[in-house]
Chain A
Amino acid sequence: MHPAPSVIIFNTFSGLGFGLLFWLGMGVLVPTGWAAFIWFVIAYLFAVGGLIASTFHLGHPERAIKAFSQWKTSWLSREGICAVFALITMAIYGAGLVFAGTRLGVFGVVGGLASLGVVFTTSMIYAQMKTVPRWRHWTTPAMYLILSLSGGALLAGQIKIAAVLLIVGGVLQIFAWGTGDRRFVEAGTDMESATGLGHIGKVRAFEPPHTGTNYLMREFIHVVGRKHADQLRIITIGLAFVLPVVLLLLASNHLIAALAVISHIAGVLALRWLFFAQAEHVVGLYYGKR
């Protein structure tokens, strides 16, 4: 799959933003007044900034309002509804803290859970795709949730929670990669089933239907850069999980905490890039590629 920068940015920053909103909503930290204002601005910048970035890949963003209508079947529609609900509920909760110095607990808990709901519905957009066997697995939503929770805890300065979640996340990511590498073959879709010609013999793509490229090849067949995947995986684990945990355990001044956050974000950006670049869509088989 083509690793579109807008989608990578959306997944990374919205995940962090909604993670932070979850911890704020749950009352793990209860700032008031100006401090609360700053916390909520950070969370909304990440969450909403990511959502706005995600509209850059739409052909007609001006019609986005229509995307709220098909929640009965579409995970993208559910994600949109969940996001609007979470952002409004958390805005009310935030206003209570900023302006009245009171914690409207119900709004916090409901808004916090809805924030996680956004992350879950996002992940299901990918996990539902039967056409991309690597994504179609419980590890996809699990990783999205863990990343959002751990990144949010890191931003919120919850050292113990962040450290534990980061360790769990690192282990789960290694498991997800290991099992994901086999899933395309296990899914059983190959050139023989794609063409139905397997009963005659071994199928090879002889001539593509067009001399140039097309939308399908640009969107679904991304083989460039995959050869660096192994190094990138090591860098990802190091930056997203190991280094932040080490930094958190070392000391607790603001500079080091900021370094941990920056390292984590860089690692998650690489992780998201891999999530797309390494995901193989079955349509590639028609072009003799994976």
Chain B
Amino acid sequence: MTQLPPPSAKKLGLVIDLDTCVGCHACVVACKGWNTENYGAPLSDQNAYSGAASGTFLNRVHSYEVQPDQGAAQLIHFPKSCLHCEDAPCVTVCPTGASYKRAEDGIVLVNESDCIGCGLCAWACPYGARELDANEGVMKKCTLCVDRIYNENLPEEDRQPACVRTCPAGARHFGDLGDATSDVSKLVAERGGFDLMPEQGTKPVNKYLPPRPKDVEPEFDILAPYLEPVAQDGTGFAHWLDKALSALPGGPK
């Protein structure tokens, strides 16, 4: 049913640390690797070995340059996948009931055998978290690796989403954001985790942790007095040397 269930107590989701993500795209590859051979239709590629490659991915990493009023610009890598929103507009627009939110843990999924591939749920998602697979004609999206996290055939440490398991920087955290005492909830509280596009009213479960403020270099340097630039006033040996060297072909002017 595409009516949203009442808010669940358990809200499984991701917390992504924009301070530590190094933009390696390992999570993108791990996600595609796991999800192309497990839950639902495979994630197809078109023209994979040509100049016009295109394909279906459930997780993508953007990179942004942020220019503060003062000081140097910062480069911030920005992984983005489904945020498993509480007020998920992608669920209510679906005409077939294929798009649904689980009442027990809040995961948003697509039942692919009901999906007619109308694309409306992707229209309704502000985050670009849904992609219609060009080969299969059904809507694909992050499943929060629902087939890993509850999978008792996997060793305990592997029962988390593939992206979280693979991230070499520890920038991705998985847990229950409905439980205020969980590690992820504490992390969000400590670091000031935030929502993407809060004005869209989707109430995302996934949170993002802001980059920590950059250190400011102090002006003072103990050696500075001894390293003053060459005198500009035009006297002495240094001045003569400067002029002599500048006069040589290719010398600085």
Partners in one complex: yes
Which A residues contact B (CB, under 8 angstroms)?
1, 57-61, 63-64, 66-70, 72-77, 80, 125, 128-132, 187-189, 191, 193-197, 199-216, 219-220, 281-283, 286-287
Q: Are A76 and B200 in contact (CB under 8 A)?
A: no
Interface of B is mostly: loop
Contacts of A61 in B (CB 8 A): 116
Cα(A260)–Cα(B69), bound, Å = 58
> A18: shortest Cβ distance to chain B, in Å?
19
A216 near B200: Cβ-Cβ < 8 Å: no
Contact (Cβ within 8 A) B66 A58? no
- With A69-B96, A201-B68, A213-B54: A129-B124 Cβ-Cβ less than 8 Å: yes
Minimum Cβ distance to chain A for residue B46 (Å): 9
Q: Chain B interface (Cβ within 8 Å of chain A)? A: 1-3, 18, 25, 28, 51-57, 60-69, 73-76, 78, 80, 89, 91-98, 114-120, 122-128, 131-134, 136-139, 194-201, 208, 210-211
CA distance A213 to B80 in the complex (A): 16
Q: A58-B116, A58-B118, A70-B94 are in contact. Are A197 and B64 (CB under 8 A)?
A: yes
Do A212 and B92 contact each other (CB < 8 Å), given the known contacts A206-B65, A286-B62?
Answer: no
A73 to B201, CA, bound (A): 17
Residue pair A212, B52 in contact (C-beta under 8 Å): yes
Evaluate whether A67 and B116 lie within 8 angstroms (CB atoms) in the complex, with A74-B95, A207-B63 already known. Answer: yes
User: Would you call A73 and B93 a contact (CB within 8 A)?
Assistant: yes
On whether the beta carbons of A193 and B199 are closer than 8 Å, the reply is yes
Query: Would B211 and A200 count as touching, CB distance under 8 A?
Result: yes
**Cα distance A75–B89 in the bound complex, in angstroms:** 12
B116 contacts which of A64, A132, A196, A219 (Cβ < 8 Å)? A64
Report which of A76, A125, A204, A209 forms a contact with B67, defined as CB distance below 8 A: A204
Complex: chain B residue closest to A77, CB-CB = B95
Asked whether A194 and B116 contact (CB < 8 A) given A70-B1, A209-B62, A216-B128, the answer is no
CA distance A282 to B202 in the complex (A): 13
A196: which B residues are within 8 A, CB to CB? 194-196, 208, 210
